[in-house]
Structure 1
Amino acid sequence: MNLNHKILYPVKGQQKNIFFSGKGGVGKTSMACITAVETAKKGFRTLLLTTDPASHIGNVLDCPITDEITNVHNQENLYAVKIDQKKATEEYKEQVLQDARDKFDQTTIMAMEEELDSPCTEEMASFQKFVDYAGGSDYEVIVVDTAPTGHTLRLLELPMDWSKQIQMKAGVSTEISKEDQIQKDRFDRVINMMKNPEQTTFSFVMYPEKTPIAEAYRASEELKTLGISTQLAVGNLVIPEEHAITPFFKNRREMQLNYLEEMKETFPESAHLEVPMYGEEIKGLYMLKEIGEKIFK
């Protein structure tokens, strides 16, 4: 299926961020890996990044992936990293508290420690790690394999509430520090980049059934309130026509085709991509390249 090149590839001199989201189990990780391999093959220095604690990008790439950036199989332009939420959270909390110890008494510090034990802190720490990567200039394309939909939405909503974090760090009567102002500026730049459709492609992956389509639509509507548009809808695990030769698979494929049409009606302003179901596990660079050549034409 033909895709507008702007959806996948960066405009000269700009960075492209490509997010893959959707409910659990729809194939976000596979799509992120296929896309990262494709953009790297096209000559763009690419970082594949996962914010999903349960991600298995290492299994799909057939290469160990850690919280340190790894060159994948010595392939030119292809790198991957996995955000370690626990480590990122501890680093973030220590950074906040270290700044505060020079300003406040022990009672205030204890109150801040309690505040920092909230789930919001873990998500903010993960997003700050993403900002560290996206706010730099080392990569032309960053492909993001996100956690399931609800977690992703919370992650994207966090920076909109950045002022509360700043106030907690600064205190009631203390002005924003120079370091916090620099960090806020970086957050703002990344958020503006995410709202810019030339610089960020937000994609929902779904298999062609009612529930994944409905969940993706609800999430896309919530993203609109953040100023982020859905540019790509991926229908995954489509039964190939040549394999729909028994009554069971014929019926399943017919059902899927109907839902693929519903996807087009649900996301009329998005590009659409159909990815076939494969008889074997999607794994390794050779298979990822082969699939990319078939679906990105």
Structure 2
Amino acid sequence: MQFLDVPTRNLFFTGKGGVGKTSMACATAVKLADRGLRVLLVSTDPASNLDEVLGTQLENSPTAIESVPGLFAMNIDPEEAAREYRERMVGPYRGVLPDTAVASMEEQFSGSCTLEIAAFDEFAKLLGDKDATSPFDHVIFDTAPTGHTLRLLTLPSAWSGFMETNTSGTSCLGPLAGLQAQQAIYKQTVDALGDAAVTTLILVTRPEPSAFREAARTSAELQTLGVSNQHLIVNGVFTSQTPSDAVAVAMQERADSAVAAMPDAINALPRTTIPLAGAGLMGIESLRQVGELQVEKIEPQFDVVEADSIPGELGSLVDELAEVGHGAILAMGKGGVGKTTVAASVAVALAERGFDVHLSTTDPAAHIAATITADAISGLTVGRIDPAKETAEYTAEVMQTAGQGLDAEGKALLEEDLRSPCTEEIAVFRAFARAVAEGSNSFVVLDTAPTGHTVLLLDSALAYHREVSRQTNEIPESVENLLPRLRDPNFTRVLIVTLPEATPVHEAAKLQDDLRRAQIEPFAWVINQSLAPLTVCDPGLKSRQQHEMQFIREVTEQHAVRTAIIPWQAEPPTGREGLSRLAATAANMVAE
């Protein structure tokens, strides 16, 4: 870990879910504390597993890790902070505005943007106020603020009175409005993030093309905002110990190819490569081994993975999906879990069963769509929802309506706000509503689905609109009828896609809770890229295989009504042949 040669006081770890940023943050904290330094490790992840990794029950204040002198850790719950923040903003209007208006305001403050701002509020208390962390030599955060949050907070116009009157359903400015009183602390915090002598931003990624693209995007955005002292950790790089294990050899080749094609934007950064761990990095001793130069060749004993403990194959799930004969099938999940591939595989399998199917994807490179179209599968049509195009059209519409009457400063602020993730979410949501409407007489399979928050936001916005204006003629028919369609289990089937790892499973469980809050019951979970059904002999893969089982059991026993599993693929599944292979039986996958 090169960044530990001369570490800055503040170390921020960022990366998409499941790449291992918590493990890397914990390992860094342990290594610094082992040098005799006093270290504070902080997580603002709602699904934080710091307690599990460090083997200590944590609270929202620094807790000593007894097995590592000098190390203290704490969990900050941004959702609780967001609830408190939301109440400060909405509370004064209770009993003053109609209940429907208050409900709409509450939902507008319940989304990801409010969570981002509330999480940054907690960062600021530790970074902006030097006295808060003065007893420590280093402060480590395992979740960094997004570039969008920083961009909003650095806008001079963001602190104008315009925010106080802006409550657009797509807006992050409403959540931002309550932070004006702490403007000075936030400025100090943003300055500290951009000071290379004080702060290092560590981008954590996996040796996969999609993860590299996401890291490159994040790096560029944060560099534009002045956060230029960056370091790259490529986590989970697999090296085969068994040349006779075809799966192990293929896995190493895929990782090597991805690293060789790494985007220039991050290829130029100082880099640390972390070997793939045989199991989860749990416990202090395993954390101390992270980043060691030598990888010990292990020959452990393993339990046999019982076949009856592994969920059924995707093909059986498709048979059940086909019984209704039409409707919308939604593949939902966090980035990087493979929901586009799962959606495409389900669409191909339904078409091969003789149904008319339309697949709609947001695959940025349209790679999946192109390979399917080239194969010309009878009964299958492929379309693409272009987030950039939909967002541009929606932004223009909002500027023509909500932007009317604003002065130049107000319009500039609204334009910035419309560049937020919230805007894209709503814009794609409208395109999604149009696509779902096609499921009345055929199958529509989508890899783009709204979050539970977006569905509830739409619900409350419609209720508020009806209450105040008594008119619905401005709302598209597809949007007007979307909620009943999504909540109808005979019309819509939601597939939650995850990986057999801690963070993806826990994030998927949170997604399921959000959907249920929106009165949408998921149909099934799909566990993607699993080693459990495969025959492997490489000791590293055998260890991973055993480690997966606890998360597979968690899904089947605690979360899912029905579950399908997709084995890890030696060849990336593209084209008709590759996608059909995913819906084949697990037994066939093992044989291959």
- When normalised by structure 2's length, the TM-score is 0.41
- In the aligned structure 2, how far is the partner of 1:143 from the partner of 1:130? 11
* Partner residue, 1:5: 5
* Partner residue, 2:109: 117
From the superposition, tell whether residues 66 and 152 of structure 1 become closer, same or farther in structure 2 (CA, over 3 Å): farther
List structure 1 runs of 4+ shifted beyond 6 angstroms: 168-171
- 1:161-210, CA deviations, whole angstroms, 9 ceiling, x for partnerless residues? 47545637888xxxxxxxx8872221111101101122111121111111
From the superposition, tell whether residues 288 and 272 of structure 1 become closer, same or farther in structure 2 (CA, over 3 Å): same
Q: Which of 146, 149, 152 is the aligned partner of 2:146?
A: 152
- In the aligned structure 2, how far is the partner of 1:50 from the partner of 1:34? 14
* Partner residue, 1:126: 119
- 1:258-283, CA deviations, whole angstroms, 9 ceiling, x for partnerless residues? 32333384424311111111222211
Corresponding position: 1:257 with 2:256: yes
Amino acid in structure 1 at the alignment position of 2:216: Y
Contact kept in structure 1, 2:41 and 2:73, CA below 8 Å: yes
SS state of the match for residue 267, structure 1?
helix
Contact kept in structure 1, 2:19 and 2:204, CA below 8 Å: yes
Contact kept in structure 1, 2:30 and 2:68, CA below 8 Å: no
* Partner residue, 1:248: 247
SS state of the match for residue 283, structure 1?
coil
- In the aligned structure 2, how far is the partner of 1:244 from the partner of 1:282? 26
Contact kept in structure 1, 2:10 and 2:199, CA below 8 Å: yes
Amino acid in structure 1 at the alignment position of 2:142: D
User: Unaligned regions of 5+ residues in structure 2, if any?
Assistant: 166-178, 295-592
- 1:62-117, CA deviations, whole angstroms, 9 ceiling, x for partnerless residues? 2122323211236322111122123212333455679x89xxxx67xx98x93872
- In the aligned structure 2, how far is the partner of 1:158 from the partner of 1:54? 25
Contact kept in structure 2, 1:264 and 1:272, CA below 8 Å: no
* Partner residue, 1:222: 221
* Partner residue, 2:23: 30
From the superposition, tell whether residues 170 and 255 of structure 1 become closer, same or farther in structure 2 (CA, over 3 Å): closer
- In the aligned structure 1, how far is the partner of 2:84 from the partner of 2:47? 20
Amino acid in structure 2 at the alignment position of 1:18: L
Contact kept in structure 1, 2:231 and 2:271, CA below 8 Å: yes
CA displacement at 1:43 relative to structure 2:
2.7
- In the aligned structure 2, how far is the partner of 1:46 from the partner of 1:4? 13
From the superposition, tell whether residues 66 and 244 of structure 1 become closer, same or farther in structure 2 (CA, over 3 Å): farther
CA displacement at 1:31 relative to structure 2:
0.6
From the superposition, tell whether residues 40 and 156 of structure 1 become closer, same or farther in structure 2 (CA, over 3 Å): farther
- In the aligned structure 1, how far is the partner of 2:283 from the partner of 2:160? 43
- In the aligned structure 2, how far is the partner of 1:81 from the partner of 1:32? 13
- In the aligned structure 1, how far is the partner of 2:79 from the partner of 2:156? 21
From the superposition, tell whether residues 285 and 168 of structure 1 become closer, same or farther in structure 2 (CA, over 3 Å): farther
* Partner residue, 1:143: 140
* Partner residue, 2:192: 193
Percent identity between the aligned chains? 31
Corresponding position: 1:19 with 2:6: no
CA displacement at 1:22 relative to structure 2:
1.6
* Partner residue, 1:174: none
What is the aligned-residue RMSD (CA, Å)? 3.4
CA displacement at 1:290 relative to structure 2:
2.5
- In the aligned structure 2, how far is the partner of 1:132 from the partner of 1:168? 25
Corresponding position: 1:65 with 2:58: yes
Give the structure, 1 or 2, with the largest relative contact order (CA under 8 Å, sep 6 or more). Answer: 1
CA displacement at 1:24 relative to structure 2:
1.4
Amino acid in structure 1 at the alignment position of 2:257: N
CA displacement at 1:26 relative to structure 2:
1.0
- When normalised by structure 1's length, the TM-score is 0.77
SS state of the match for residue 80, structure 1?
strand
- In the aligned structure 1, how far is the partner of 2:202 from the partner of 2:277? 21
* Partner residue, 1:76: 69
- In the aligned structure 2, how far is the partner of 1:83 from the partner of 1:164? 26
* Partner residue, 1:13: none
- In the aligned structure 1, how far is the partner of 2:137 from the partner of 2:72? 12
For this pair of structures, how many residues does the alignment match? 273
- In the aligned structure 2, how far is the partner of 1:290 from the partner of 1:164? 45
CA displacement at 1:213 relative to structure 2:
0.4
Contact kept in structure 2, 1:96 and 1:169, CA below 8 Å: no
CA displacement at 1:30 relative to structure 2:
0.6
Moved more, 267-276 or 134-143: 134-143
- In the aligned structure 2, how far is the partner of 1:42 from the partner of 1:155? 34
SS state of the match for residue 291, structure 1?
coil
